[in-house]
Amino acid sequence: MALYRIHPLVLGSKIFDKGTMTYQYGYGEEIHVPVFGWLIEGGEKVVLVDTGYLGPVITEAREKALGAKIYRFEEALSRFGLSPADIDLVLHTHLHNDHCENDFKCENAVFYAHRLEFEALYGGHPLDFRYAPDFVEELDQEGRFVKLEEDREILPGLRMIHTPGHTAGGMTVLVETERGVAAITGVCTLFENYWPPRKIRALGWEVIPPGVHTDAYVAYEQTLRIKKMADLILPLHEPELARIETVPDQWDQVKLPEGAREE
């Protein structure tokens, strides 16, 4: 079985209330978080998980707040000797706009997403305003999407697992590495969601569900499930992961919450 390396590509950033990430916790605290694409190296195919923002805001102030450089899509790929045309597979954790805006540039790719994401994309609830059909509709009409209805092994050592709650069709990507299974989470979270502070654990919470969700109870259970199924957790908006080049090579350099390395 292949063992992979994962490169977090910083393809934008967001500035918002922390409660968007952490349900019933952190409201009123402004945070700066990265928007990622995840380049997976080590197999026969060039694989990317999510494609980030089309036109990221790149300023010195944003990069300083994030503690990392922000790249445009082509620039990020070029650092690894690649162009969008080189991408073979794009695996989507979900189809909120900040995870798919560069899809159309991957002219030779096959795309994977859960079928339920398309129901929200084309006619979901008004609360689903984070979906923007323009970024994927043409690709969908061309038949470029594989619409999953169940868990799927995409390549040896690379699986997509249905983890709803943040969105109905959220998919966590499990990647075999030399340090064990890494989970690129199918819910928009931070490290703190998986290793809450003591005052939150005192409530009996093992994890904090994402602040944006379709069902808080389901989101809690799936966040906990992700934590238990992986050796390395890669939350979709964790700033610490913007400051390293490769997982698992630099995992020991990542600052995890208190007690995380002991679990």
Answer yes or no: is pLDDT of 22 > 80: yes
pLDDT of residue 263: 75
For residue range 29-64, what is the model confidence (pLDDT) as tens digits? 999 999 999 999 999 999 999 999 999 999 999 999
- pLDDT averaged over every residue in the chain: 96
Q: How far is CA 116 from CA 18, 32, 70, 92, in A?
A: 27, 29, 31, 12
Query: 259 or 178: whose pLDDT is higher?
Result: 178
Amino acid at position 17, single letter: D
Phi, psi (rounded to 5 degrees) for 185? -70, 145
For residue range 121-157, what is the model confidence (pLDDT) as tens digits? 998 889 999 999 999 999 999 999 999 999 999 999 9
- pLDDT grade for 258, boundaries at 50, 70 and 90: confident
Helix (H) or strand (E) holding 38: strand 30-41
For residue range 202-224, what is the model confidence (pLDDT) as tens digits? 999 999 999 999 999 999 999 99
pLDDT of residue 262: 72
Q: What is the pTM of this model?
A: 0.96
List Cβ neighbours of 203 (8 Å cut-off, separation of 6 or more).
Answer: none
Partner residues linked to 9 by β-bridges: 37
d(CA 74, CA 77): 5
Answer yes or no: is pLDDT of 260 > 80: yes
For residue range 86-107, what is the model confidence (pLDDT) as tens digits? 999 999 999 999 999 999 999 9
Partner residues linked to 48 by β-bridges: 39, 90
Mean pLDDT computed over 247-252: 97
pLDDT of residue 259: 76
d(CA 146, CA 169): 13
pLDDT of residue 261: 78
Q: How far is CA 223 from CA 75, 170, 203, in A?
A: 32, 11, 17
pLDDT of residue 104: 98
Q: How far is CA 45 from CA 2, 18, 50, 64, 109, in A?
A: 11, 36, 15, 34, 10
